[in-house]
Amino acid sequence: MIERTLCILKPDAVSAGNTGNIIAHIQKEGFRILGLKMVALSGKAASKFYEVHKERPFYAGLVEFMSSGACVPIALEKENAIAEWRRVIGSTDPAEAADGTIRKLYAKNKGENAVHGSDSVENGLREIAFFFTEAELADLA
Ligand code: UDP
Ligand code: MG
């Protein structure tokens, strides 16, 4: 099934100058880019985006990190995009991520781990709508 997922290049990846390399990696893996922008998330916006984790011990640090610098949300489409994108990015902790995955290549640690990936079709659509309007996802490319 053709699915959509949300990628976010997180502040560690953007500030380290890895934006171009990660976008090239995305395209090499055959994802279609439906929308892409650079944003500075406020603390409020980052809190809202990660609301599902609000009871977790890492929540405050995660919100602070995600609002610490520019992020690049990218709406992606592919056959089995949810599972495929999680395969391409690797485990949450780069120490456990497989060789060649984006997190293995670019992540610093479990918190500053270069990229986001949606965990279900439903959340992918919800997360894409958090950053992109329908008009921004029109068939442009
Ligand atoms: N995170 C963290 N410490 C943890 C687990 C997660 O800082 O012990 C951060 C990390 O940036 C991760 C995000 O919270 O990407 C969301 O966590 P999740 O378990 O959903 O991991 P993901 O789906 O991003 O692999
Ligand atoms: Mg997750």
The full DSSP string for 66-105 is HTSSEEEEEEEEEETHHHHHHHHH--SSGGGSPTTSHHHH
- What separation in Å is there between the alpha carbon of 21 and the centre of ligand 1? 22
105-135 per-position pLDDT tens digit: 999 999 999 999 999 999 999 999 999 999 9
Cβ atoms of 90 and 101 within 8 Å: the answer is yes
Buried-exposed string 105-118: b where 16+ CB fall within 10 A, e elsewhere: bbbeeebbbbbbbb
Range of the domain at 129: 2-40+71-135
CA of 77 to the centre of ligand 2 (A): 18
pLDDT of 43 higher than 60: yes
Q: Within 13 A of 82's CA, how many CA atoms are on the CB side?
A: 13
pTM of the model: 0.97
End-to-end Cα separation, the chain, in angstroms:
20
> Which residues are bridge partners to 35 per DSSP?
75
In a domain, 130, yes or no: yes
In a domain, 108, yes or no: yes
Q: Mind listing the pLDDT tens digit for each residue in 50-95?
A: 999 999 999 999 999 999 999 999 999 999 999 999 999 999 999 9
Output the residue whose Cα is nearest ligand 1's atom 17.
92
The answer to whether position 32 is within a domain reads yes
Confidence of residue 140 (pLDDT cuts 50, 70, 90): low
Task: With respect to residue 101, please indicate whether it lies within any of the assigned structural domains.
Answer: yes
9-40 per-position pLDDT tens digit: 999 999 999 999 999 999 999 999 999 999 99
Residue 21 is assigned to a structural domain of this protein = yes
Residue 45 lies in a domain: no
What CATH number has the domain bearing residue 125?
3.30.70.141
Q: Which residues line ligand 1 (CB under 6 A)?
A: 58, 62, 92, 110-111, 113, 116, 119
In a domain, 81, yes or no: yes
Residue 110 placed within a domain = yes
Per the structure, the count of domains in the chain is 1
The whole-number pLDDT of residue 138 equals 77
